[in-house]
């Protein structure tokens, strides 16, 4: 499945990043995590829904002893952030004294990530880091400790590889941008 354009909710998208480019970026992030946490156990906190593909592919490359859990937050409606972050499904695992890495599909304004860092940081982990597949630096409104960034991208609206447009488009192995 690699169409030269897709249409979602009557909006057109063109190819932007291939599955091969995504795989290379993910392997690079995983190699850094494996090196930085060698000999340690890590809890990966996956932000649903968009991060499911990134998390699955990243964890296939992780050689550490690790656990995985899921949290769901929402801040998007249509093609833009609402600016309001709502926690939908909270973290039930104990993270106090543990090394935790938040896995996120995309950081743009940083509102969601700031809320997660504040919320999880209050639970006193031994360390708390962020691994994001995509970062939109020109959109960032918070100073965030983003230790692991797969790809920095411009402020384009993208879908595919877990990212959606009102629920559609997550299933594409490549990433497409709106035209």
Contacts of 93 (CB under 8 A, 6+ apart): 43, 67, 69
Distance from the Cα of residue 44 to its chain's centroid = 12
**Plot region of 160 (φ>0 → left; ψ -120 to 50 → alpha; else → beta):** left
Active-site hit among 57, 105, 108, 174:
108
Q: In what order do the strands lie in the sheet with 127-135?
A: 80-89, 65-77, 41-48, 99-107, 127-135, 148-152
| H helix or E strand, kind and range, residue 7 | strand 6-8
Q: CA 176, CA 154: separation in Å to the nearest integer? A: 13
- DSSP-assigned beta bridge partners for residue 80: 77
Is 118 among the residues known to form the active site? no
Q: Which residues are catalytic?
A: 108
């Amino acid at each position: 499945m690699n169409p030269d354009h897709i249409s979602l909710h009557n909006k057109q998208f063109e190819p932007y990043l291939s599955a091969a480019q995504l795989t290379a970026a993910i392997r690079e992030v995983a190699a850094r995590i494996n090196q930085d946490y060698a000999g340690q156990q890590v809890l990966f906190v996956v932000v649903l829904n968009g991060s499911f593909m990134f998390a699955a592919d990243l964890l296939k490359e992780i050689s550490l002893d690790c656990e995985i859990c899921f949290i769901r937050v929402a801040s998007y409606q249509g093609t833009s952030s609402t600016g309001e972050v709502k926690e939908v499904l909270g973290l039930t695992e104990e993270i106090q004294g543990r090394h935790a890495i938040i896995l996120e599909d995309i950081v743009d304004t940083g509102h969601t990530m700031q809320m997660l860092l504040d919320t999880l940081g209050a639970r006193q982990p031994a360390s708390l880091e962020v691994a994001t597949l995509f970062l939109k630096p020109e959109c960032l409104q918070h100073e965030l400790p983003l230790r692991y960034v797969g790809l920095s991208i411009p402020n384009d609206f993208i879908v595919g590889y877990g990212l959606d447009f009102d629920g559609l488009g997550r299933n594409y192995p490549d990433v497409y941008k709106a035209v």
